[in-house]
Structure 1
Amino acid sequence: MSTLAVILLATAAGSLLSFLLAGALALSARPSWIPVLVSYAIGALLGASLLEVLPEAVEIGGDIETVAKALLGGILLFFLLEKLVLWRHCHEEICEAHGGNSRPAHGHDHGRSGLMITVGDTFHNFVDGVIIAGAFLADFRLGVVTALAIIAHEIPQEIGDFLILLHSGYSRGRALLLNFVTGVATLVGALVGYYALSMLEGWTPVLLGLAGASMLYVALSDLIPGLHKRAEIGATLQQLALIGLGIGSVALVGYLIGHGH
């Protein structure tokens, strides 16, 4: 089997596995679970961004200033992207900018947080594909370990992203479709990485910085404010516990796999 075939097989396996698990969640999750599970997703996003993605960007690039600039630019980019989504809806219905209420009665956010996380996850998956390709080109054993590490990291993240899409108002079918599309970005990254790794190597920290920015922006701007609607002490303790569980699960995966590379 050629190196390219192995690279594509490894990336496809991870994307398919996370897609199947998200699909199983789509069939079993009750709507009442979503607000509770969003707290876990917040923790997973914060943990993935601050414990995995951004440190990895610094490690690869060796320049924290470049990563910080990409993070700052990414936050501004996603702020503008969210504004564009809001402006589009302002032409369709009453919105806050016109003195009304932009949130419908059932509480979703017109797909804003779902769009942010889809764009950011596409960046992240693309970079994962590039990293897998580079690892296999350097050494077969390193490629296998790296692919397993990325798969282990992606599965809980993709499930968390799926929960955010549901919370954002997407149907289960559309959320699964977006989950599948973002997974395809890993294959695209692997192909591009195989044929043009030397050209992309300098951009990897920037792409990871953008991915980290999307996770932070969604968690802090779109999801956490919704938790404040339940201010009672019991709900707050439950939210803190689930956020901690989300962060802890990412930290545990990172510890068990030793970052894989």
Structure 2
Amino acid sequence: MSVFSALAAASASSQDLSVAQIEEQLQNCPLVASLNEHKRATAPETTSLSSQIFVVLFPGSPAVNALLATLYISGPPNFLLALCPPNIDPSSLSVMVAFAVGGLLGDTLFHLLPEIFLGEDSPDHVSFVMVEPNKNLLLGLGIMVGFFTFVAMDKALRIATGGEGHDHAHGHGPEETKASSTGAEAGGKSGELKQRKGKKGKDSADAVEEKEINPSVKLGGYLNLIADFTHNITDGLALSSSFYASPTIGATTTVAVFFHEIPHEVGDFALLVQSGFSKRKAMGAQFVTAVGAFLGTLIGIAVQEFGGHDAVSDGSLAAGLWGTSLSWGDMLLPFTAGTFLYVGTVAVIPELLETGKDKGAELRKTIVQFLAVAVGAGIMLAISWD
């Protein structure tokens, strides 16, 4: 059977075959078989170090790997809070945030978007891209929904805080620094209170400090907890959808989210302390919000397992959403890409554009930030290349 006759036969019966079944028929063509032999002959015999590490870290099914990844990105960053001083300034994390955002954008552009529109490459055989009417439109719609979901969250928090810029549930750039301006003032008063502690005792100083905290700053702290919980849910959705797409996409997404979680958790911790939380209570609150990541992962697993994917893959091309081969589970990865694009743009670009009066210092700071973005994206590119 030639490739042309196979294509004709597959096209004639495409209404009765799934995409996977059509590709299986194409694999029987002599031309495709020779391409498969060439691909296997030229493929590297040894796996990369990153691949070996990922196999050890994620040895199970997509559901098990997603839960393991959630544990990896939730545990260590929260335990690191014990080493953080309570008076840390969120704006001092700008370089770390730039590095993390570079990783998120790299994961989105090098892994998620190619996977969404082209699918995952196979080491054993060549792959085909089946172009369906309206399929790419729905995938693009999923990306836009993810992006504007975070826009709505950001807007709602700004309205709740009376129009002041507030943490938009992911990044910690100038948006968050402006939001905590009143918190910084409260932190200044807190510094004066620390001097009083030696004279009046710990209990009396804590009581005075509690009275000195601005109510709006306290509200900002609690709203930040809500935003953090919601953002952790989206992280869980991202991990589950990426592992169901492929082990490689899941592993790289875990790396990107992990790099982002460290400055995110430290920044949230600093905001809670500025809002009147003690260090112990702030750490406890961050552990509670980590439950959101597991909740999001479980929701994502449920959507993938019961979202109709098996029915679509076993049925015809028009058995899925709005006459396409897509299932509800297939829409989670585009949603994830949309949220990552929001984080990677809105979280870091305003900070990169802000400049002070000292031109030399700002130039050095900008170079370091851009280098941090490049390093974060370069790690994702290197993993993808291997």
Distance 1:55 1:183, change over 3 A: farther
Structure 1 counterpart of 2:116:
57
Cα distance in 2 between the residues matched to 1:148 and 1:209: 16
Judge conservation of contact 1:34–1:163 (CA < 8 Å) in 2.
yes
Question: Residue 110 of structure 2 aligns to a residue in which SS?
Answer: helix
Q: Distance in 1 between matches of 2:118 and 2:238?
A: 16
- Paired with 1:49 and 1:116, the residues of 2 have a C-alpha distance of 20
Query: Is residue 206 of structure 2 the alignment partner of residue 76 of structure 1?
Result: no
110-119 or 182-191: bigger deviation: 110-119
Q: Do structure 1's residue 228 and structure 2's residue 358 form an aligned pair?
A: no
**Secondary structure of 2:354 counterpart:** coil
CA contact (8 A) 1:49 1:215 kept: yes
Q: Indicate the residue corresponding to 2:180 in structure 1.
A: 104
The 3 A distance-change label for structure 1 pair 77 and 13 is: closer
In 1, distance between residues paired with 2:327 and 2:144? 18
Q: What SS does the aligned partner of 2:179 have?
A: coil
Shift of the 16–121 alpha-carbon distance from structure 1 to 2, 3 Å rule, reads: closer
Give the Cα separation in 2 of the matches to 1:21 and 1:77: 28
Q: Is residue 2:350 matched to residue 1:208?
A: no
* Higher relative contact order structure (alpha carbons within 8 Å, sequence separation ≥ 6): 1
* Paired residues of 1:21 and 1:159 also in contact (CA < 8 A): no
Q: Which stretches in structure 2 are left out of the alignment for 5+ residues?
A: 1-59, 120-129, 166-176, 185-216, 273-281, 313-325, 357-361
- The correspondence of residues 152-191 of structure 1 with structure 2, limited to 5 A, is 152-167=252-267, 169=271, 171-191=282-302
Listed as ranges, the matches of 1:122-137 within 5 Å are: 122-128=236-242, 131=244
**Cα pair 1:70 1:206 within 8 Å, conserved:** yes
**Displacement after TM superposition at 1:7 (Å):** 5.4
* Residue 8 (structure 1) shift: 4.8
Please give the alpha-carbon distance, in whole angstroms, between the structure 2 residues aligned to 1:115 and 1:13: 19
Q: What is the Cα deviation at residue 243 of structure 1?
A: 0.3
Q: Counterpart of 2:342 in structure 1: which amino acid?
A: Y
Distance 1:113 1:40 in 2: 22
Task: Give the match's secondary structure for 1:202.
Answer: coil
CA contact (8 A) 2:78 2:286 kept: no
C-alpha spacing 1:254/1:178, structure 2 compared with 1 (3 Å):
farther
Tell me which moved more, 228-237 or 188-197: 188-197
Give 1:23's match in structure 2, choosing from 50, 74, 78: 78
Residue in 2 aligned with 1:140?
Answer: none
Higher deviation after alignment, 211-220 or 241-250: 211-220
Name the aligned partner's letter for residue 72 of structure 2.
L
Separation (CA, whole Å) in 2 of partners of 1:68 and 1:149: 19
- The AA in structure 2 aligned to 1:234 is R
* TM-score, normalised relative to structure 1: 0.70
Structure 1 counterpart SS, 2:328: helix
CA–CA distance in structure 1, aligned partners of residues 230 and 71 of structure 2: 22
Answer yes or no: is the 8 Å Cα contact 1:117–1:215 preserved in 2.
no
Contact 2:102-2:373 at 8 Å conserved across structures:
yes
Q: Which residue does the alignment assign to 2:171?
A: none
Find the residue that maps to 2:301 and give its secondary structure.
helix
Whichever residue aligns with residue 206 of structure 1, its letter is M
Task: Decide whether the 8 Å contact of 2:139 with 2:334 is kept in 1.
Answer: yes
Q: Per-residue displacement from partner, 1:110-168 (whole Å, max 9, x unpaired)?
A: 74985774353233123135x17xxxxxxxxxxxxx54762454034223134234335
C-alpha offsets along residues 35-76 of structure 1, whole Å, 9 cap, x if unaligned?
220111111121122222222221349643322222223323
Contact 2:74 2:293 in 1 (8 A): no
Q: What TM-score comes out, normalization by structure 2 length?
A: 0.50
Given that 1:71 and 1:210 are in contact with CA atoms closer than 8 Å, whether structure 2 keeps it comes out as: yes
Percentage of identical aligned residues: 16
Q: Which one of the candidate residues 250, 256, 273 is aligned to 1:150? A: 250
2:344 corresponds to:
219
Instruction: Report the alpha carbon displacement of residue 20 of structure 1 after superposing the two structures with TM.
Output: 3.2
Distance in 2 of aligned mates of 1:51 and 1:178: 29
Q: Is the 8 A contact 2:98 2:372 kept in 1?
A: yes
Match of 1:66 in 2: 138
* Residue 43 of structure 1 pairs with residue 102 of structure 2: yes
Decide which of 243, 251, 255 is 2:373's aligned counterpart. 243
